[in-house]
Amino acid sequence: MGGRKKTLMGMAALMLLTAPTGAQSWAADGPGTVELGSLANHYSAVTFDHAMHVGVATSCADCHHHTTGLAPTDPNCVRCHKAGAQAQSVSCKDCHSDKRFSPEDLEKTGGNPQLYHKGKLGLKGAYHQKCLGCHTTMGGPTGCQDCHARNDQGDAFFHSGKYAPAPKASGGHGGGH
């Protein structure tokens, strides 16, 4: 029962949070664009222009580590992962969990003494650290809404837009204290 429920939930999460295949258009060596919708509760999905980034990156390994079969760019990773075969999946979401820190995730990572990559980022963290890290050095957009516009629910969450608090009357101490 628990297993089936988990599978169902996982499928629902996949459908909700990850790229529907229809939204991907494939170029010769990868998708042209990818819809990234893991923050759909507060932001509209990001339409990631993969083809453009392929042109900007020096190597697929810049983002895909060792999974495309190329040698990783981080010398720390090369210690174990040398250039080799392509991994079964090169998709971010297949390695980086969208359920980071859930009890199941903690059991899988913390409870496994054989696992080296205990601190492997969740999907959201992986996207943001990778995107923002590179955008900062390359001069790409770094504002939250430069990549994904905030929706109404997001505005409410941030108490912004039409949910912004009324500006406080200047001269302070009159009332309300």
Footprint on this chain of another protein (rule: CB under 8 A)? 39, 76, 100-103, 106, 109-110, 118-119, 121-122, 124-126, 128-129, 132, 136, 142, 144, 157-160, 164-165, 168
Residue with tokens 């899988």: 108
* Cα–Cα distance measured from residue 111 to residue 77, given in angstroms and rounded to the nearest whole number: 23
> Based on CB atoms, which residue is closest to another protein, 53 or 120?
120
Least gap, CB of 25 to another protein (angstroms): 26
Overall residue count recorded for the chain in this entry:
177
Is the separation of the CB atoms in 92 and 103 below 8 Å?
no
> Based on CB atoms, which residue is closest to another protein, 4 or 159?
159
Least gap, CB of 165 to another protein (angstroms): 5
Is the separation of the CB atoms in 48 and 34 below 8 Å?
yes
> Based on CB atoms, which residue is closest to another protein, 26 or 101?
101
Least gap, CB of 50 to another protein (angstroms): 20
Least gap, CB of 112 to another protein (angstroms): 11
> Based on CB atoms, which residue is closest to another protein, 29 or 152?
152
Secondary element (H or E) of residue 47? strand 46-49
Is the separation of the CB atoms in 30 and 63 below 8 Å?
no
Which amino acid, one-letter code, is at 53? H
DSSP 41: T
